[in-house]
Amino acid sequence: MKRKSFLQKAGIAAAALTVLPGSELFANANETKVKAIMIGVGLRGQNHLDLLLRRADVDLVGICDIDDRMLATSKSMITKAGKKMPQIFTGDVYAWKKMLELKNIDCVIISTPWEWHKEMIVSSIEAGIKYIGTEVMLGITLQDHWDVVRAAEKYNAHVCMLENVCYRRDVMAVLNMVRQNVFGELVHLQGGYQHDLREVKFNNGIEAYGHGCEFGDKGWSEARWRTHHSVHRNGDLYPTHGIGPIAHYININRGNRFLNICSFSSKARGLHDYVVKKCGPEHSSAKVSFKLGDVATTSIGCANGETILLQHDTNLPRPYSLGFRVQGTDGLWMDVNKGIHIEGQSKPHRWDDAQTWFDKYDHPLWKRWSKDAAGSGHGGMDFYVIHMFIESVKRKQAPQMDVYDAAAWSAITPLSESSIEMGNQTIEFPDFTAGKWMYRKPVFALNDEF
Measured from the CB atom, the residue of 33 and 228 that comes closer to ligand NAD is 228
**Residue (of 408, 400, 401) closest to 431 by Cα position:** 408
The gap from C-alpha 307 to its chain's centroid, in whole angstroms, comes to 22
Rounded Cα distance between 271 and 255, Å, is 41
Q: What's the min distance (Å) between Cβ of 196 and ligand NAD?
A: 15
Measured from the CB atom, the residue of 49 and 420 that comes closer to ligand NAD is 49
Instruction: Give the contacts of 244 (CB within 8 A, at least 6 positions apart).
Output: 161, 163, 165, 166, 401, 405, 409
Instruction: Give the contacts of 150 (CB within 8 A, at least 6 positions apart).
Output: none
**Binding range to ligand NAD, per CB under 6 A, among 13-21, 105-113, 168-176, 344-352:** 105-113
Measured from the CB atom, the residue of 204 and 304 that comes closer to ligand NAD is 204
Q: What's the min distance (Å) between Cβ of 268 and ligand NAD?
A: 20
Label each residue of 300-368 as H, E or C.
EEECCCCEEEEEEECCCCCCCECCCEEEECCEEEECCCCEEEECCCCCCCCCEEHHHHHHHCCCHHHHH
Q: What's the min distance (Å) between Cβ of 110 and ligand NAD?
A: 8
Binding residue for ligand NAD (CB under 6 A) from 58, 64, 100, 161? 64
Rounded Cα distance between 332 and 339, Å, is 8
* Total residues at interface with ligand NAD (CB under 6 A): 25
**Binding range to ligand NAD, per CB under 6 A, among 58-66, 150-158, 257-265, 344-352:** 58-66
Measured from the CB atom, the residue of 1 and 29 that comes closer to ligand NAD is 1
Site for ligand NAD in 79-98 (CB under 6 A): 93, 96
Query: By the 8 A CB rule, do 131 and 399 touch?
Result: yes
Instruction: Give the contacts of 335 (CB within 8 A, at least 6 positions apart).
Output: 170, 321, 322, 323, 324, 325, 354
Q: Per rule CB under 6 A, is residue 164 in the interface with ligand NAD?
A: yes
**Binding range to ligand NAD, per CB under 6 A, among 19-27, 43-51, 248-256, 334-342:** 43-51
Angle at CA 86, nearest 5°, toward 82 and 91?
135
E runs forming strands in 184-272: 186-194, 258-265
- Is 31 exposed, middle or buried, given 0-12, 13-18 or 19+ CB atoms closer than 10 A? exposed
Query: By the 8 A CB rule, do 412 and 300 touch?
Result: yes
**Binding range to ligand NAD, per CB under 6 A, among 34-42, 263-271, 361-369, 419-427:** 34-42
CA distances to 78, 193, 358, 413 from 189, in Å: 42, 14, 18, 18
Q: Per rule CB under 6 A, is residue 113 in the interface with ligand NAD?
A: yes
3-class DSSP assignment, residue 288: coil
Rounded Cα distance between 216 and 224, Å, is 4
Binding residue for ligand NAD (CB under 6 A) from 44, 83, 198, 257? 44
Binding residue for ligand NAD (CB under 6 A) from 38, 57, 114, 335? 114
3-class DSSP assignment, residue 136: coil
Measured from the CB atom, the residue of 42 and 242 that comes closer to ligand NAD is 42
Bridge partners (DSSP) listed for residue 275: none
E runs forming strands in 165-270: 186-194, 258-265
Binding residue for ligand NAD (CB under 6 A) from 111, 285, 297, 419? 111
Binding residue for ligand NAD (CB under 6 A) from 57, 65, 147, 214? 65
Q: Per rule CB under 6 A, is residue 40 in the interface with ligand NAD?
A: yes
Q: Per rule CB under 6 A, is residue 112 in the interface with ligand NAD?
A: yes
Task: Report DSSP letters for 65-123, one per residue.
Answer: -S-HHHHHHHHHHHHHTTPPPPEEE-SSTTHHHHHTTSSS--EEEE-S-HHHHHHHHHH
Measured from the CB atom, the residue of 109 and 268 that comes closer to ligand NAD is 109
Binding residue for ligand NAD (CB under 6 A) from 6, 116, 193, 333? 116
**Binding range to ligand NAD, per CB under 6 A, among 106-114, 183-191, 315-323, 347-355:** 106-114
Site for ligand NAD in 352-381 (CB under 6 A): 378
**Binding range to ligand NAD, per CB under 6 A, among 66-74, 274-282, 317-325, 351-359:** 66-74
Which residue, judged by CB position, is nearest to ligand NAD in the bound state? 42
Bridge partners (DSSP) listed for residue 74: none
Binding residue for ligand NAD (CB under 6 A) from 50, 106, 135, 306? 135
Q: What's the min distance (Å) between Cβ of 209 and ligand NAD?
A: 11
Site for ligand NAD in 208-237 (CB under 6 A): 221-222, 224
Q: Which residues bind ligand NAD (CB under 6 A)?
A: 39-40, 42-45, 64-67, 70, 93, 96, 111-114, 116, 135-136, 164, 221-222, 224, 378
